[in-house]
Amino acid sequence: RRRNQRPTSEREPAIAVDKTRIARAFYCDVLHGRQVWDSEGAGSLSFIVEGTRIDVSTSAAGESEPVVLSVANPARLAERCWDVGYSVRVDHDATGEARVSVIDPFGRRIELVR
């Protein structure tokens, strides 16, 4: 062990740190949200994006319900997500209107509505 390195038992697991960093990059940097903490959810990741609280689960996120996020310009936000490498889906409803959603780094769908 290097002299200035702390013992492993005192450090957070590298995987947890990496998932937190990935979540912050998406929810804070790309979606322009902010991370929030509460005393009840110790150890959980939560973000406020456009006034909506999003609790992030890094396991089985693709199985959870999509988050509906109301934004001023869904197309512009989807384009920003696409430009930095995130998946974007465009579906059409029964009326032919386009519905745009992005997929977070853990597989959860976020529907963007005006």
106 CB contacts (<8 Å, ≥6 apart)? 19, 23, 56, 57, 58, 59, 61, 62
Q: What is the pLDDT along the chain (114 residues), one digit of tens a residue?
A: 445 444 444 555 665 678 889 999 999 999 999 999 876 655 678 999 999 999 987 665 556 789 999 999 999 999 999 999 999 999 888 888 888 999 999 999 999 999
- pTM across the whole model: 0.77
The HSE-up count of residue 60 (CA atoms within 13 Å, CB side) is 3
SS3 81: helix
> How far, in Å, CA of 20 to CA of 62, rounded?
17
